[in-house]
Amino acid sequence: MHVFIDKLVAEHQFKATDLLAILRAIQARYHYIPPSAIAHLAKVLALSASHIIGVVEFYSFFHLHPQGDYELLISDSITDAMLGKQALMDLLSEKLSVAVGAVRADGLVSLANTSCTGLCDQGPAGLVNGHPLTQLTPARIDLITTLIHQHIPVEDWPAELFAITDNIKKTDLLLTQPMPLGSALAAACKRGFTETLAEIERSGLRGRGGAGFKTAMKWQFCREGHADNRYVICNADEGEPGTFKDRVLLNQYAHQVFEGMTIAAAIVGATQGFLYLRGEYSFLYEKLAAILHARCEAGLLGENILGQGFSFTIKICLGAGAYICGEESALIESLEGNMGIPRNRPPYPVTHGYLGKPTIVNNVETFLAAAHITLHGSATFASMGTQQSKGTKILSICGDCLHPGIYEFVFGTTIKDILETCGATEVLGVQIGGPSGVFISAQEVERRLAFEDVATGGSFIVFNQTRNILDSVTNFTHFFAHESCGFCTPCRVGTSLLKQQIDKIVGGHGSAGDIVALEELCQLVKSQSHCGLGQTAANPILSTLERYPELYQRLLKKISYEPGFDLDAALATARHLTQRDDAAAHLAQIGEDHE
């Protein structure tokens, strides 16, 4: 093992910042991170063993204990659940004789849930040893279990199990205008980089990740002041459940994204860029690496780009299963080889980012849009959209609609038009912006896609009238508790309390006081948490509690208080031990009996 690790670490030039990449390779080979590997890594990377353990235990795809030779993970996004994921999970568990969350005794296979894998338009989906599985059906489960029992290496499994389609359903400005290789970069050089920044400012482009910060302003802040180095980071940690547009953009439009990054680098004065790609999208790695290589060959990356005297390279870094790394400062921490814990701000990344240097972090789609604006000018872009939201937005539409996939809409389009376009009927509501976004009911579909009305990073999940909205609220609330980094008290404890409280109510154990307690807790977690995860973790509950109070009320018992657990069930162990089952060995749940 030491030989393997020594070679691996040498390939990464003994850089501690590459810890995630190194751990990914060890996990892939041994299906866990063995203690001896940690001890050896600590020595050769000059890190403390506890730092490495901390990183291993932080990311979902790393394990301190052996996983199966076949590590099976099934996406538990709400969209997968709506496509019948639970029955398939039960089937897998039964056929493979392994409990969910466990490793089979012979070590052949492990089975567990994982957060949304970004394949919501072709689910139920999953991962086997990091390779994406799509459109799972009972027949495919049969095939998969047979392949596992026959010990067939994943690399030799039939390709159709891993087939991914892009499902681009509607294109507009960004996805139709042609962009010959290097043309946007050439346009930037011709116009001058300062003038290119001004052009992007005139376009009104705002960040496409969801928050909507003005792109030109961010780049301006980064280029100001003295620094010996600057960095450009593309955030492709597309973890918001229901979002998958960046996967498609990187699969089909990677040149344009990299071109946008290179233009940004020229503007801010960066020589190193990173594409932080979520671990679930590792299947894109080889293709993207080849594109980067081709761009170097073409003089569009590397030294003296287009003969203009500036240099820029892009490195692809893979995540390892942590939604929080979509938060820009957590992403930077992760790139540095640390746990993905959001930093205290100020200072902001534009002045103190990667390795303490000025850094811009932008979404995949933002770089794509910046490249287009650079090539075609700001006029067309700025003429589209609304007062505060210019241009178009690329949506990932999934859930209850005829045509799930990628759609490019002009900002200002009504939700109603979007629903009609994607073939959604008998709509109950739409979750826009993912769990951290907002739920819009069928009565509000005249609202518009815009930062000033309904903002979204791209997630658009449709629910029809057969759905129980509390299923999605429960799913989302569990998601946040699972993904909280645990740094700050209100989010670490609060998201777990929210999960308990929603389970209590949905489980039929709620009483009048519980709704009040739930709402109070939501406000606390929202207002006191350290970063966007905690600040939005209560949104699924708050936005449905506001619209459907009767749904919650209906579940309550007609008493003012009920404990969160079943008293009688809690006595089961005692009954078993004492071998009693008489009437006196049972307790009634207080309430109705004692009025």
Q: Which residues bind another protein (CB under 8 A)?
A: 35, 39, 48-51, 53-54, 57-58, 322, 339, 344, 346, 481-490, 492-497, 500, 521, 524, 527-530, 564
**All residues at 6 or more sequence positions from 260 whose CB lies less than 8 Å from its CB, including other chains:** 184, 366, 367, 368, 369, 370, 371, 374
Minimum CB separation of residue 513 from another protein in Å reads 12
In the complex, least distance from residue 162 CB atom to another protein, rounded to whole angstroms = 29
462: part of which helix (H) or strand (E)?
strand 459-464
- Give least dist CB 524 to another protein, A: 5
Peptide bond into 124 cis (omega under 30): yes
Rounded Cα distance, 392 and 449, in Å: 10
DSSP code at position 158: -
DSSP readout, 198-266? HHHHHHT-B-TTSS--BHHHHHHHHHSS--S--EEEEEE---STT--HHHHHHHHSHHHHHHHHHHHHH
* Shortest reach from residue 98's CB to another protein, in Å: 22
Structure tokens, 343: 């930093």
Q: How far is the CB of 140 from another protein (least distance, A)?
A: 31
Provide, rounded to whole angstroms, the least separation between the CB of residue 253 and another protein: 33
Query: Smallest distance, Å, CB 176 to another protein?
Result: 42
- Considering beta carbons, is residue 329 or 396 the nearer one to another protein? 329
Residue closer to another protein by CB (options 173, 521) is 521
Nearer to another protein, 28 or 64 (CB): 64
Residue 133 CB, nearest distance to another protein (Å)? 25
- SS3 of 348, please? coil
Residue 116 tokens read as 């949304």
| Helix or strand holding residue 56 (H, E) | helix 49-58
Task: Please list the residues that pair with 73 across neighbouring strands.
Answer: 112, 127
Q: What are residue 560's phi and psi, to 5 degrees?
A: -85, -25
Reading phi first (left if > 0) and then psi (alpha if -120 to 50, else beta), residue 384 is in beta
Shortest CB 520 distance to another protein, Å: 8
Question: What is the Cα–Cα distance from 146 to 16, expressed in whole angstroms?
Answer: 41
Between 242 and 321, name the residue whose CB sits nearer to another protein: 321
**Least distance between another protein and beta carbon 135 (Å):** 30
Q: In this complex, which beta carbon is closest to another protein, that of residue 12 or of residue 482?
A: 482
Backbone angles phi, psi at 132, to 5 degrees: -75, 135
User: Which residue, 26 or 128, has its beta carbon nearer to another protein?
Assistant: 26
Coil, strand or helix at 65: coil
Which residue lies nearer to another protein by CB, 117 or 495? 495
Residues 17 and 46: beta-carbon distance below 8 Å: no
Nearer to another protein, 154 or 497 (CB): 497
CA distance 470 to 355: 43
Residue 341 exposure: Cα atoms within 13 Å on the Cβ side: 13
What is the H or E stretch that residue 187 is in?
Answer: helix 183-191
Query: At CA 382, angle to CA 376 and CA 386, rounded to 5?
Result: 150
- CB 344, min distance to another protein, A: 4
Residue whose CB is less far from another protein, 45 or 234: 45
Cis omega (within 30 of 0) for bond into 35: no
| CA 491 vs CA 325, 482, 525: distances in Å | 16, 11, 6
Between 61 and 244, name the residue whose CB sits nearer to another protein. 61
Q: Using omega within 30 degrees of 0 as the cis cutoff, is the peptide bond preceding 180 cis?
A: no
What is the rounded CA–CA span in Å between residue 520 and residue 223? 43
Which residue type occupies 557?
K
The minimum distance between CB 468 and another protein, in angstroms, equals 25
Please report how close the Cβ of residue 408 comes to another protein at its closest, in angstroms: 35
Please identify, using beta-carbon distances, which residue of 343 and 390 lies nearer to another protein. Answer: 343
| 278 closest CA partner among 327, 317, 333, 336 | 317
Show Cβ contacts of residue 106 under 8 Å, excluding neighbours closer than 6 positions.
none
Least distance in angstroms from the C-beta of 48 to another protein: 5
How would you classify the pairing of strands 427-432 and 405-410? unpaired
CB of 518 to another protein, least distance (A): 12
Q: Which is nearer to another protein, 32 or 487 (CB)?
A: 487
- Nearest CB to another protein, comparing residues 339 and 538: 339
Question: Cβ closer to another protein: 2 or 7?
Answer: 2
Q: How far apart are CA 214 and CA 538, in angstroms?
A: 26
